[in-house]
Amino acid sequence: MNTKFKEKIKTEQGYYILADVSLAKAEHVLKFGDVFAMLDNYGSIRRFGFEQEGIFYDGTRFVSKKILKIGTKYPLLLNAAANEEDEHLIIDFTNPDFETENGSLIKRGTLHFLRSIFLCDTSCYERICITNHGIENIGFSLNIEIEADYEDIFEVRGIKREKRGAYNDPIITDKDVIHSYTGLDNITRVTKFSFDQPATSIKANKVIFQLQLEPNHTKEIYFTISCRYEHTAVSLPAWSVAHNKIREKCTDLKAGRCTIETSNNQFNHWITRSTSDLFMLLTETNYGLYPYAGIPWFNTIFGRDGLITAMETLWIYPDISKGVLCYLAAHQAKKSDPLHEAEPGKILHEQRKSEMANLGEVPFGQYYGSIDSTPLFLMLAGMYYQRTADIEFITHLWPCLEAALNWMKQYGDMDNDDFLEYHRKERVGLVQQGWKDSDDSIFHKDGSLAQAPISLCEVQGYAYQAKIQMAHLARALDKIEMADSLESQAAKLKEQFNRMFWLEDLGTYALALDGRKQPCAVQTSNPGHCLFSGIASESAAEKISRLLTDDAFFSGWGIRTVADGELRYNPMSYHNGSIWPHDNALIATGMSRYGYKEESIKILKSFFDASKFVDFRLPELFCGFKRRKGEGPTLYPVACNPQAWASASVFMLLQACLGLEIDCKNNLIFFNNPILPESLHETKITDLRVGNSIIDIILHCHYNDVGINITKKQGDIEVLIRK
């Protein structure tokens, strides 16, 4: 690609993900901890312009090529599929027609290859089983081509670096090839390709096995790729031991969560796929479980993404929320650092460990440039307490909660107008610091970009709900005066917000107020989050619910981020007309809060329909084109897939329709005016834990109503239905 073009993209659009070719090639994703692999249907990694394929560790590509050939020919694919837990990829392929060295013709379909691949710790394990189904001995070569380019994830995304580190001479034995690279950060990254038996020929970039197979005989080759840093000891367990470890991890993750099963098999597939993707992205940290944001671009800690994913899954799996709160509390900013947008009490936006982050070529090593992570942190703490009544944990967390609250007052509100606002401190940071963080996402009616400092409408809602939740926690800790003050502040903020942000002529709230306190008078999905937080007035909620489910917003596949007809509307953009599952889940929950259940159902049904066209794995986003009969949604070319808050959206959408609310302190489960789509005749919620109680519930869908039966109850728990 033209270097000047790359530099122009970088200069004008910040951390844009470059796409000069389609990046839709990689078919399969595997992840374990900080390692993920993107592989094609053959289990290979190829360099045909599909730049995101590879094995990545800590934001660096440790393997850039891994291709298996039969002699000089590619095999013929029979089948490729991950198991139900998305932890293990199984590929069946066979040989093409080929001629052996002695001149014999081997017909296609004679040799069967079974390739099994999974990740464990920082290594990729592979087993290749080859069976001769012919009637004669067959001699052939199995060639494995390998490369390691050590590109930073931001290089893969399209940023051109002026200077890179040094590639070291490979180390080669009869069973190993070791590549390494010493970065400009003085860290040496090492990739070790190891085989369980000596190769016939082994070079830096190609390993060859000359094989002889008798009829009905099988040959196995075990192949391990370990990713590590120099001087870091890596103990590689045997293939079977490592495989058992990943199965045990999956079993442990499933323990303690409730399960959902419906009478609709396709809906069950959506739930199963979403659960598997969520578990894939969950990473065990020193502070508990944390959902990494998404693959390939965001396989790391993100504050906003983790907090919203935790909210989406709180009712079924509160351990995720506890892990997110613990991690973010431990990494809360302690001092001011303009380069990294840090201020005392502020909650982390993003954390990276790659070479470019270590060197400061990108500011995201420990980056705090989000206006909403801090109020979302406070919101989740209150929601977690309501779900679990874990007062001991809240007591432990309290100093961090107070520090976050103080940040909102001292740093988040720059001009003391009671609104949270942001502006970029340094040119290397993010221009826009809400969830729509594209450079061009906050604009006026005439298309001109809003000038900082910017007050986003949804962020004021988060701040409002943060004060409400903190008031509840303060009361639980007998801090009555503080609770009263916070409730008073919340009421004042709600009144002022509705006065300053409401646009009667548009029937919605302004996207934002700019630095001159002028409203961005455009119709966007952001006000839907104001329903989620409860800051919207009743009359505003009615108008916004109708607006967001009308044709300008609702494509048939969900609600667009920007209404069709706005000047910057573009259904193929990242934030100005596309459709995001998590955005819709929050909006549906907000609509449910105000009693607009039919609108919530409409959103749930649209995403259920969309899931059928994408193998039940909702991507980070898709394009906002109008739904066409018989066709699926139009995919966005560089979307993360899977993405945590997209995977988790089904659980919040279902909760929204059911109006499900859990009050653990009082051992109560509420269903507020529950409603389900007609396609779900029956829905079972099994092993729902509330404190020390466990309950199984079956919901039956009737015309305009839902019947609820309790089939198991252990402990003092009560279920109430509010109509």
Residue 87 pLDDT exceeds 60: yes
List, for residues 26-56, the tens digit of each pLDDT value. 589 999 999 999 999 999 998 755 467 999 9
Pick the closest to residue 351 from 336, 373, 335 (CA basis): 373
| Band (202; pLDDT cuts 50, 70, 90) | very high
As a whole number of Å, the end-to-end CA separation of the chain is 60
List, for residues 403-448, the tens digit of each pLDDT value. 999 999 999 999 999 999 999 999 899 999 999 999 999 999 999 9
In the prediction, which pLDDT does 323 show? 98
In the prediction, which pLDDT does 257 show? 83
* 133-138: average pLDDT: 94
List, for residues 595-618, the tens digit of each pLDDT value. 999 999 999 999 999 999 999 999
- Tell me if residue 575 falls in helix, strand or coil: coil
Residue 723 pLDDT exceeds 60: yes
| Average pLDDT value for the chain | 94
Pairing of strands 660-663, 512-513: unpaired
* 139-143: average pLDDT: 95
List, for residues 324-356, the tens digit of each pLDDT value. 999 999 999 999 999 999 999 999 999 999 999
| Band (253; pLDDT cuts 50, 70, 90) | confident
* Cα–Cα dist 376/152, whole Å: 30
How many CB atoms neighbour CB 487 within 10 A?
Answer: 17
* 358-376: average pLDDT: 96
Pick the closest to residue 375 from 468, 301, 494, 480 (CA basis): 468
In the prediction, which pLDDT does 318 show? 97
Which CATH number describes the domain made up of 3-243? Answer: 2.70.98.40
* Cα–Cα dist 378/405, whole Å: 8
Residue 232 pLDDT exceeds 80: no
Please, which residues bridge with residue 112 across strands? 94, 131
Please, which residues bridge with residue 105 across strands? 99
